[in-house]
């Protein structure tokens, strides 16, 4: 079946078509029962419903592309291994000495990280060029003492999306946690 969504290439024409379909659908739904069956058979209503859902999905994808274009996109994730030497409390993320994200962790979130989960911390735009990514980790370290550490990455942002991982791992030999900021290779 031909999809009307594929006929539109720019956001404005797709949005206008979405609003027209929404208006037609709302007229069909609010029309008197006799008029509804004569003007809009059930098959047409189902078709309109499906098209409105497809258009809504396409609008969301287009808005995501407009807000976070691939050439300036940066995503930062947090990961942790078993955590024998560190109990994570919070993470603060700075890009070029500006605070861009802070996150306080619940027990449930820490448990998910211990089991191998990766938490999306930040998604945003960053111009091409040199940038400094700094993460500040707060929590309880060895011997139940407050523990605060920072890890930094000098990022040379290109036109490709950048994916950064903030890794918290145990250094068994030192009996201390290790904090690293790693850039994932481009796909």
Predicted confidence at residue 68, as pLDDT, reads 65
Does 97 lie in the same domain as 161? yes
Closest CA to 54 of 92, 14, 24: 14
77, 49: one domain: no
Could you tell me if 74 and 14 lie in one domain? no
CA dihedral for 185, 133, 100, 135, sign (positive or negative): positive
Please write the tens of the pLDDT for every residue from 120-174. 999 988 888 999 999 999 998 877 889 899 999 999 988 888 999 999 888 766 7
- As a whole number, the mean pLDDT across the chain is 80
State the Cα angle at 136 between 133 and 138, rounded to 5°. Answer: 160
Does one domain contain both 53 and 77? no
Q: Tell me: do 114 and 61 sit in the same domain.
A: no
Residue 151 maps to which CATH number? 2.60.40
Residues 52 and 91 in one domain: no
Q: Which residues pair with 76 in a beta bridge?
A: 122, 164
Last residue of a domain, one of 67, 84, 110: 67
20-48 tens-digit pLDDT:
656 665 655 555 554 444 566 778 888 88
Task: Specify whether 42 is located in the same domain as 105.
Answer: no
Q: Which of 67, 98, 122 corresponds to the end of one domain?
A: 67
- As for how many domains the chain has, the answer is 2
Q: Check whether residue 134 and residue 78 sit in a common domain.
A: yes
What is residue 7's predicted lDDT score, i.e. its pLDDT?
47
User: Which tokens sit at 4?
Assistant: 């009307």
Residues 57 and 75 in one domain: no
pTM above 0.85, yes or no: no
Least confident of 52-56, 93-97, 147-151: 52-56
Tell me which residue range forms the domain holding 33. Answer: 4-67
- Does 57 lie in the same domain as 28? yes
Same domain, 38 and 130: no
User: For residue 1, what pLDDT band results from cuts at 50, 70 and 90?
Assistant: very low
Q: What share of the chain is helix, strand, coil (3-state, %, to 5)?
A: 40, 40, 20
| 93 and 32 inside one domain | no
């Amino acid at each position: 079946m031909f999809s009307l969504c594929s006929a539109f290439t720019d956001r404005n024409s797709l949005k206008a078509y979405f609003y027209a379909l929404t208006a037609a659908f709302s007229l069909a739904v609010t029309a008197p029962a006799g008029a509804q069956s004569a003007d809009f058979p059930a098959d047409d209503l189902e078709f309109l419903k499906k098209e409105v859902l497809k258009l809504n999905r396409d609008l969301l994808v287009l808005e995501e592309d407009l807000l976070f274009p691939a050439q300036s996109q940066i995503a930062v994730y947090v990961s942790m291994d078993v955590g024998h030497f560190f109990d994570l409390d919070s993470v603060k993320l700075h890009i070029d000495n500006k605070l861009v994200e802070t996150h306080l962790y619940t027990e449930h979130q820490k448990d998910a990280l211990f089991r191998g989960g990766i938490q999306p911390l930040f998604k945003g735009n960053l111009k091409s060029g040199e940038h400094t990514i700094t993460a500040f980790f707060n929590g309880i370290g060895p011997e139940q003492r407050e523990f605060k550490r920072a890890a930094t990455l000098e990022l040379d942002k290109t036109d490709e999306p950048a994916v950064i991982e903030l890794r918290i791992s145990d250094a068994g030999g030192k009996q201390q946690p290790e904090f690293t900021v790693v850039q994932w290779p481009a796909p």
